[in-house]
Amino acid sequence: MASHPAIITPALLSSLRAHPNLPAHTWYFIAAVTLSQLNRPDEIPKVYLHALRTTPDGLTPSHDEKLQISRRMREALVKAAAVGGVPRTINALLELKKATPEELLDVPEPAGPAAAGASPSPSPTGRRADLYDTPVPEVLQRGQAFFNDIYGKVARRVMSQMDNCGTEDLGLVARLMYAYVLSSTAVLSPAETSFVMIAGLVPQDVNPQLKGHLRGALNGGATLEQVRAVRSVAVDLCRAAGMRLLDPGEPGGFGWRSEPVDL
């Protein structure tokens, strides 16, 4: 298999971690999501292992802190499937698992054999209960409320566009995603969920959707400076991977047709 030039370097890791205005305990999952959408899941373990090594204060993280880092990164990659697709999330999570100590994995209750050396430790997101134990209308209502909170006064118009795009199925898929994937906030808060969306959208050159989630992060409680810092980290990673602003006459390439939108 051909190797690809490294994106993550010690200098880049240090700059990401120390980025001004970036909310605490977010840099590593923002980086992981961006890398997944750049189709570089192989670089995610570098971010993860660096996050496990030291706290922002230079101390060795406790077991509970390492477990929190592991779960937040996994949850971010799961939520990124809503904007970047399941295949890239699969590849990212499998690469992350290779680097994850067994005691930091969430192992489901046996429907099959547990991983060697690991005790069953179901995911704390609550999705299993949503799927099997919670009435569907209750979960859908929560998802609609989450959607409304993100999009604010334009929520009805955005959903109407999806319902009337030529097939109502797009709106139905959006309702399912918001209900069963995005509105679960046991691990990542509403604002942090929007950070995941921003990190996942910046590499895709989709400014209308990026603009909605930049504003959605503000609606979720983030500050303007924090939202701009998240966008900046994602852009820096994309540029480190070789993305650039394309010339208008270029038929294609690895880059953006227009600069990623800002607030």
Q: Which CATH number characterizes residue 73's domain?
A: 1.20.1290.10
118 is a domain residue: no
Regarding whether 82 and 206 lie in a shared domain, the answer is yes
Regarding whether 198 and 97 lie in a shared domain, the answer is yes
Regarding whether 102 and 3 lie in a shared domain, the answer is yes
Regarding whether 178 and 148 lie in a shared domain, the answer is yes
Cβ-contact 148, 155 below 8 angstroms: yes
The total number of structural domains in the chain stands at 2
> Range of 18's domain?
1-107+189-263
**Which of 183, 205, 228 finishes a domain?**
183
From CA 30, how far away is CA 200, in angstroms rounded? 8
- What is the average pLDDT across 115-119? 52
pLDDT digits (tens, 9 = 90+) for 1-37: 457 889 999 999 999 999 989 999 999 999 999 999 9
Regarding whether 7 and 97 lie in a shared domain, the answer is yes
**Which of 141, 162, 183 finishes a domain?**
183
Q: What pTM, to 2 d.p., does this model score?
A: 0.93
116 is a domain residue: no
3-state secondary structure of 245: strand
249 is a domain residue: yes
The CA-to-CA distance between both ends of the chain, in Å, stands at: 41
From CA 90, how far away is CA 213, in angstroms rounded? 23
Query: What share of the chain has pLDDT > 70, as a percent?
Result: 94
